[in-house]
Structure 1
Amino acid sequence: MFRKVAQLPLDYDLFKGKNSIFNWSPAGSVIFGNGSVARTGQEIKRLGGQKVVICTDEGLVKFGVVQKVTDSLEEAGVEYIVFDKCEANPSVETVEAVVELAKNVDMLIGVGGGSSIDPAKAAAILITNGGNIRDYEGCDVFKEPPLPVIAIPTAAGTGAETTPFAVITDVQKQWKMAIGGSYNIASLAICDPELTASLPPMFTAATGMDALTHAIEGYVSRALDPISEPILEQAIKLIAGALRRATFKGEYDKDSRYDMMLGSTLAGMGFTNTILGIAHSMAHPLGAMFHVPHGVGNAICLPVVMQFNMSANPEKTAAIAKLFGKDVSNMDLMEAAQVGVNCVFQLLEDLPIPPLSNWGVKESDIDKLAEEAMKGGDRWTNPRETTIDDFKALYVKCLKLKK
């Protein structure tokens, strides 16, 4: 018999500190380390699972990543069905397809990035709550605990394995929905850095910048709490030190892959409790309207947004410079903060991230993008208040970046 664990409502009150009462909802259990994917089957059996659906994509099946999971399931005697149609921005229709397959299973497994883990989470909600996934947009809307989800990330980026959100695209509305709740955290995350070893450079760079965006936006958030703060600092430090090596030497540099996976997982734990900022508000419509991969959108928006936010939280922005290894001890606060911003601009310049123009984004699209960005929930925890004109100006600056 497993003991009860409190499932608290998500708490995003602003300005948490020493004199505040706040909730901190940790992730589900985490198994971390090289080769840990081999434990999948035995852990599912330990949790009482007999039959599962695996949510993944065709590429991960083709390159043998999913077989490492299924080998473990077969060894443990766990039945499985593979759904390999998950797309980059998982849709309402994908969630519905998973639900159809998963009506008579005990658990769901998401193998991949957020594009595989998020539809698993969303389908798990529908299986126990019914209705349409559109019914559950927002925080703590669903009532019944979802079917258990096992999250196995294959990229160091989204942090979906440790967060209480599933982001699902409503193609009809060109809108990305966030469905959140503490019950929506995966029951178990199995984080095996070796699964990321064969990721190509651009994908490594984009997912890594996604993780860095989570860490930095959580760190400067107006909802930062004293528990998340050191977790996010460690995430920034790990990613800053490892992302270039993982991108360009990742096939044989196991240490960089390990640090990136750990940094991504920590970032997910941290921003679960702080929410994010307007880089995410801007990246979501880029994905919904132009299919810009989420990590690419975040990578381009992050340094531009940091420059915009710098004066609202210079202390934390200056601290980011230190976490990147820069000596700012003899600088005044704003000068040190600018170094923090410059570190991220330089990182973007060094990485193989394609510009927004490659995805068909034009200046004539900015008004619509800004309107959609204004709807983003992450706007409320951003360090600086943002108007629609601010978003328009920020998108112009992002479009002018060549990389």
Structure 2
Amino acid sequence: MFRQVAQLPLDYDLFKGPEKIFNWSPAGSVIFGNGAVAKTGEEIRRLGGKKVVLTTDEGLVKFGVAQKVIDSLEAAGVEYTVFDKCEANPSVETVEAVAELAKDADMIIGLGGGSSIDPAKAAAILVTNGGNIRDYEGCDLFEKAPLPVIAIPTAAGTGAEVTCFAVITDVQKQWKMAIGGSHNIPSLAICDPELTASLPPLFTAATGMDALTHAVEGFVSRGSEPISDALLGQAIRLIAGSLQRATFKGEYDKDARYDMMMGSLMAGMGFVNTILGISHSMAHPLGAIFGVPHGVGNAICLPVISEFNIYANPEKYAQIAVLFGEDITGLSANEAAKVGVQCLYDLLASLPIPPLDSYGVSESDIPHLAEEAMKGGDRFTNPRETTIDDFKVLYKKCLELQK
């Protein structure tokens, strides 16, 4: 017997009046721990699944990560089809291909980072609602509940396993679409930190900075509230204390991998209810136009936009300093906030994040990037209002940051 659970529509109205009423939409169920991936097959059977599509990428197949899921499916007698062509910035075409494979399936499994989980979530909408995925850009624009999705992250980064958005690239328009809805949260997230152990340093650093960006931007967001603050503050603390260790000795530091996955999970749970800020507004065009990995774009933008935002929410940036372990005794809120922002600059400098110009981004591209950043929905929850001229200055600082 299954009980009814309220699925509230997404509501990011920042002006709710003196009552300060807000919606909180929790994630689906979560199974967390080393070795948890072995439970995949039995959980799918428990949920009534008999036939699934597994979306992943060629690397996870090559290095045996996908086989761990397949072994579990076979042991439980679950029929499966594998789609292993997911790309770094998943495209409309990938979503269509997954949806075609899944039209007779009970569920879709997304195994990987957001690049595999997001197309699984988007394809699940298409299977039950039809049409073109472009029809659903925005919030709650689909009428029928998507096909159930089981999300298995293999990186501590996007938090896609517990969020209600799928970010899909429209290659023709060079645009990243956010497709959201409260029913779009995966039915189950299976989070196994051991799956991240073999990630190389660059990938660990980039995905980890993506998770930190979610945590920081959600924490200082104009849409933050007490529940999100608890989740996002803890996420910042966990990531700040473990990202460098996970990056440089992640193959044998299980505690760092565990804390990073927990931090990423908690960041995802928090920011889906607060939305983010202009680091994401800036990172999305970098990915759509130049193929800059999302985590790399956020890693570079985060300290720059935090410095820009500092006086719009100094109390929260001061708390970030404390969450990084800094002593701010005797400092004013503004002074302590500067310490918090410097923590972000110092962390970036310590990690193997390549500069933007290595992806072909140059100063001549800034006007177009700024125009695209102005279209980002995350601008409206950023602590400080932004203009196109602000974005031009910020992009220039990002280009110069690592020189």
Query: How would you bin the TM-score normalised by the shorter chain?
Result: over 0.9
Equivalence for 1:44: 44
Deviations 1:67-106 (A, max 9, x none): 0000000000001000000000000000000011111110
Q: Distance in 2 between matches of 1:57 and 1:380?
A: 34
Residue 374 of structure 2 corresponds to residue 359 of structure 1: no
SS in 1 for 2:202: helix
One-letter amino acid of the counterpart of residue 213, structure 2 = T
How has the CA–CA distance of structure 1 residues 214 and 18 changed in structure 2, closer, same or farther, with 3 Å as cutoff?
farther
How has the CA–CA distance of structure 1 residues 298 and 16 changed in structure 2, closer, same or farther, with 3 Å as cutoff?
farther
Equivalence for 2:78: 78
Q: Distance in 1 between matches of 2:337 and 2:20?
A: 27
SS in 1 for 2:176: strand
Alpha-carbon distance, 1:14 to partner: 1.7
The answer on whether the counterparts of 1:17 and 1:225 sit within 8 Å (CA) in structure 2 is no
Q: What are the within-5 Å matches in structure 2 for residues 77-226 of structure 1?
A: 77-226=77-226
How has the CA–CA distance of structure 1 residues 18 and 160 changed in structure 2, closer, same or farther, with 3 Å as cutoff?
farther
How many residue pairs are counted as aligned between the two chains? 403
SS in 1 for 2:147: coil
Alpha-carbon distance, 1:21 to partner: 1.3
Q: Distance in 2 between matches of 1:34 and 1:53?
A: 24
Q: Distance in 1 between matches of 2:401 and 2:308?
A: 15
Q: Distance in 1 between matches of 2:231 and 2:13?
A: 19
How has the CA–CA distance of structure 1 residues 147 and 139 changed in structure 2, closer, same or farther, with 3 Å as cutoff?
same
One-letter amino acid of the counterpart of residue 126, structure 1 = L
Q: Distance in 2 between matches of 1:377 and 1:140?
A: 15
Residue 255 of structure 2 corresponds to residue 255 of structure 1: yes
Q: Distance in 2 between matches of 1:254 and 1:114?
A: 22
How has the CA–CA distance of structure 1 residues 54 and 312 changed in structure 2, closer, same or farther, with 3 Å as cutoff?
same
Equivalence for 1:288: 288
Q: Distance in 2 between matches of 1:15 and 1:249?
A: 46
Equivalence for 2:275: 275
Alpha-carbon distance, 1:60 to partner: 0.2
Equivalence for 1:391: 391
SS in 2 for 1:227: helix
SS in 2 for 1:108: strand
Q: Distance in 1 between matches of 2:15 and 2:241?
A: 30
Q: Distance in 1 between matches of 2:18 and 2:259?
A: 31
Q: Distance in 2 between matches of 1:19 and 1:310?
A: 27
Equivalence for 2:230: 230
Residue 67 of structure 2 corresponds to residue 67 of structure 1: yes
Q: Distance in 2 between matches of 1:387 and 1:64?
A: 47
Alpha-carbon distance, 1:16 to partner: 7.1
Residue 53 of structure 2 corresponds to residue 31 of structure 1: no
How has the CA–CA distance of structure 1 residues 169 and 385 changed in structure 2, closer, same or farther, with 3 Å as cutoff?
same
One-letter amino acid of the counterpart of residue 230, structure 2 = P
SS in 2 for 1:326: coil
One-letter amino acid of the counterpart of residue 373, structure 1 = A
One-letter amino acid of the counterpart of residue 361, structure 1 = V
How has the CA–CA distance of structure 1 residues 276 and 9 changed in structure 2, closer, same or farther, with 3 Å as cutoff?
same
Equivalence for 1:320: 320
Alpha-carbon distance, 1:19 to partner: 3.5
SS in 2 for 1:169: strand
SS in 2 for 1:126: helix
Identical-pair percentage: 79
The answer on whether the counterparts of 1:15 and 1:223 sit within 8 Å (CA) in structure 2 is no
Alpha-carbon distance, 1:330 to partner: 1.3
SS in 2 for 1:95: helix
The answer on whether the counterparts of 1:15 and 1:224 sit within 8 Å (CA) in structure 2 is no
SS in 2 for 1:275: coil
**TM-score normalised per structure 1:** 0.99
The answer on whether the counterparts of 1:53 and 1:107 sit within 8 Å (CA) in structure 2 is yes
Alpha-carbon distance, 1:17 to partner: 9.7
One-letter amino acid of the counterpart of residue 238, structure 1 = L
Q: Distance in 1 between matches of 2:6 and 2:325?
A: 39
After TM superposition, where is structure 1 displaced by more than 4 Å over at least 4 residues in a row? 15-18
Deviations 1:269-316 (A, max 9, x none): 000100000000000000000000000000000000000000000000
The answer on whether the counterparts of 1:212 and 1:236 sit within 8 Å (CA) in structure 2 is yes
Instruction: For structure 2, list consecutive stretches of 5 or more residues without a partner in the other structure.
Output: none
Alpha-carbon distance, 1:174 to partner: 0.1
One-letter amino acid of the counterpart of residue 81, structure 1 = T
Equivalence for 1:372: 372
Deviations 1:379-401 (A, max 9, x none): 00000000000000000000001
Deviations 1:118-158 (A, max 9, x none): 00000000000000000000011111000000000000000
Equivalence for 1:339: 339
**TM-score normalised per structure 2:** 0.99
The more displaced of 11-20 and 84-93 is 11-20
Q: Distance in 2 between matches of 1:239 and 1:388?
A: 32
How has the CA–CA distance of structure 1 residues 383 and 4 changed in structure 2, closer, same or farther, with 3 Å as cutoff?
same
